[in-house]
């Protein structure tokens, strides 16, 4: 058996997230169909993580095992020929036998995009969350500083999560601003479900003056989901890359 690692880009707008579901198209489901079709047998695709419905990826990774060796570039093109154009394999490469896209990962990078202009560009509309009007970026940065480090992020995930340990190490939470857009860059050893979107929603509230910078720390320490801000829309979130 040969182990192969793939790097995937996708526009998640029209998909029900990464993970295969009984009803609804998913990224994992489409990849499984395409690779299995080429191999004439079921092939299991192991992803680095689950992105939710509507979330995009510039550098999602996955791996799978084949009974044969393949030319990686030719196989990449063959997979893409069997996928819709909103999913693309950008790289296929051989991996060690013990490589696992999820368990071998050491960190992930996400970007959340907020459009603040009056009119959303048609070239950005699928990839940004629209919050019309100025946000106080300095206050957002001060609020974000409370989250950097190793913490229990229970307040920033779903209440019914089956994860046993909600502690994560957030090394970077950077906020960048251009004329019509604010981007939140989050880098951590791992993320909980809805964690980045809840952080974004909380910091947007800070930027709007609906909550104080100190309230971010209070929410974190409370470990109560009700004390953090709303979950920001999925369309603004992109998985930038997975580190190994």
For 207-216, b/e burial (b = at least 16 CB within 10 A) is bbeebebebb
Specify the residue for token string 């950077």.
174
Best CA proximity match to 52, nearest among 83, 79, 21, 30: 21
Neighbours of 96 (CB within 10 A): 9
Q: Is 138 a catalytic residue?
A: no
CA end-to-end distance (rounded Å), the chain:
22
Catalytic residue among 11, 14, 52, 189: 52
Measured distance CA(58)–CA(88) in Å, rounded: 10
The backbone torsions φ and ψ at residue 231, rounded to the nearest 5 degrees and listed phi first, read -80, 120
Other Cβ atoms closer than 10 A to 166: 16
CB 54 within 8 A of CB 234: yes
Residue pair 89/70 in contact by the 8 Å Cβ criterion = no
In terms of Cβ atoms closer than 10 Å to its own Cβ (0-12, 13-18, 19+), residue 173 is: buried
Beta strand residue intervals within 67-213, DSSP E: 87-95, 107-115, 129-130, 149-152, 167-177, 181-188
Q: Which residues are known catalytic residues?
A: 52
């Amino acid at each position: 058996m040969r182990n192969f690692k793939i790097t995937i880009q996708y526009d998640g707008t029209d998909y029900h997230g990464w993970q295969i579901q009984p009803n609804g198209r998913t990224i994992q489901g489409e990849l499984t169909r395409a690779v299995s079709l080429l191999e004439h047998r079921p092939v299991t695709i192991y992803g680095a993580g689950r992105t939710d419905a509507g979330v995009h990826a510039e550098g999602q990774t996955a791996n799978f095992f084949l009974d044969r060796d393949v030319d990686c570039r030719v196989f990449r093109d063959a997979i893409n020929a069997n996928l819709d154009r909103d999913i693309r394999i950008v790289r296929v490469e051989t991996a060690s036998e013990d490589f696992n896209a999820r368990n071998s990962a050491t960190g992930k990078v996400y970007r959340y995009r907020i459009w603040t202009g009056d009119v959303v560009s048609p070239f950005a509309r699928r990839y940004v969350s629209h919050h019309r009007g100025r946000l106080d970026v300095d206050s957002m940065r001060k609020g974000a500083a409370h989250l950097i480090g190793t913490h229990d992020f229970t307040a920033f995930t779903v209440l019914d999560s089956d994860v046993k340990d909600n502690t994560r190490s957030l090394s970077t939470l950077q906020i960048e601003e251009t004329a019509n857009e604010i981007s939140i860059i989050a880098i951590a050893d791992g993320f909980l479900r809805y964690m980045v979107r809840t952080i974004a929603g909380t910091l947007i509230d800070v930027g709007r003056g609906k909550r104080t910078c100190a309230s971010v720390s209070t929410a974190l320490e409370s470990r109560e989901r009700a004390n953090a801000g709303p979950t920001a829309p999925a369309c603004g979130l992109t998985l930038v890359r997975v580190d190994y």
